[in-house]
Amino acid sequence: MRLPTLKWAGDALELVDQTLLPSELVIKRCDSAEEVRDAIHRLVVRGAPAIGVAAAYGVLLAAHSAKNSSPEELREHVARAAELLAAARPTAVNLAWAVRRMEAAAQGQEASAQELYERLEREAKAIEEEDREANRRLGKFGAALLEDGATVLTHCNAGALATVDYGTALGVVYAAVEEGKNVSVYVDETRPLLQGARLTAWELTQAGIPATLICDDMAASVMSQGKVDCVVVGADRVAANGDAANKIGTLNLAILARHFLVPFYVAAPLSTVDFDMASGADIPIEERNPEEVTSFAGARFAPVGVDVYNPAFDVTPAYLIDAVIMEGGVAKPPLGAALAALRRD
């Protein structure tokens, strides 16, 4: 079962509350841009493509509250919401990308507020549909890289819950299975918030795909035993040279994969590539609340007063990436030139 991560209800945005999975399946309703921003920050909705689409609808909610006012007032609502939402999480480029598209759609001096609102609604729905289509296309390209009987190692959650409804890294697995291939998956638990254990393992179990959950520090062991055919991960931002920011711990896997001669693939839509950022050295890395490391589900397990470093992402350099799987094809080294060739604009 793959359920939509989010749904536009006409006057509200409905989200699967991922903080409660897998224990509870709860739909959270957001009635304002502020509520969408809070949902993004608290990881109710997460994953670069999903938060980009959610942010687009957050801007639309701001416009909804002003659609019976003047065009100027509606644009002011849009601008404030865009600024608020873009700052919710700094690493995922899809967030700012989607917000900029919505701001651009609000321009046009000849339009009434109602016309501007309708234009914004069309743009938000277009961003959603583009994500859906892009993930299915990249899934097909990625599936061609998997042999029948392949075992994939993945990290964090880059499945349906991280996108509109299909997935990037897991989209590759889903597409391979839909083609009739037998594919199994090793799932990193992904500390500190256990997105692999809570979300990816749940998704794969629901889909009937064989999945084995491992602790993050078991990856070297399973690779050394020849149990992994490839690593496939998602990305929150890819720099123009191919450096890729993804959930903390991804760099560990890339280094291990290179040591054990295991192909390492990044699966991400083109919207995740920041062509204005030369390299991963410039990617802003979000640091989150120390309590995510010292506690879980309300239970503290670290001593009070201990210092904590909690970056949410790390950057894998392009030279450790064997390919970036995108909706336009598979980019192979040199990644900078290959990504530029796939660029549409």
| pLDDT tens string 201-233 | 999 999 999 999 999 999 999 999 999 999 999
Q: What is the pLDDT of residues 234-282, one digit of tens each?
A: 999 999 999 999 999 999 999 999 999 999 999 999 999 999 999 999 9
Burial 277-292 (b: 16+ CB within 10 A, else e): beebeebebbebeeee
Confidence of residue 4 (pLDDT cuts 50, 70, 90): confident
- Residue 83 pLDDT > 90: yes
Which of these, 313, 316, 311, lies nearest to 232 by C-alpha position? 316
Confidence of residue 2 (pLDDT cuts 50, 70, 90): low
- Residue 1 pLDDT > 70: no
Mean pLDDT rounded to a whole number for the chain:
96
**Per-residue pLDDT, 205:** 97
Q: Where are the domains of the chain?
A: 6-135, 140-342
What element of type H or E holds 142? helix 113-143
Q: What is the pLDDT of residues 16-32, one digit of tens each?
A: 999 999 999 999 999 99
Mean pLDDT within 173-201? 98
Q: Is 140-342 a domain of CATH 3.40.50.620?
A: no
What element of type H or E holds 300? strand 299-300
Which residues are annotated as catalytic?
236
Residues facing residue 313 across a β-bridge: 247
Which of these, 266, 259, 262, 283, lies nearest to 321 by C-alpha position? 266
CATH number of this structure's domain 6-135: 1.20.120.420
What element of type H or E holds 78? helix 71-86
- Judge if the upstream peptide bond of residue 303 is cis by omega within 30 degrees of 0: no
**Per-residue pLDDT, 246:** 98
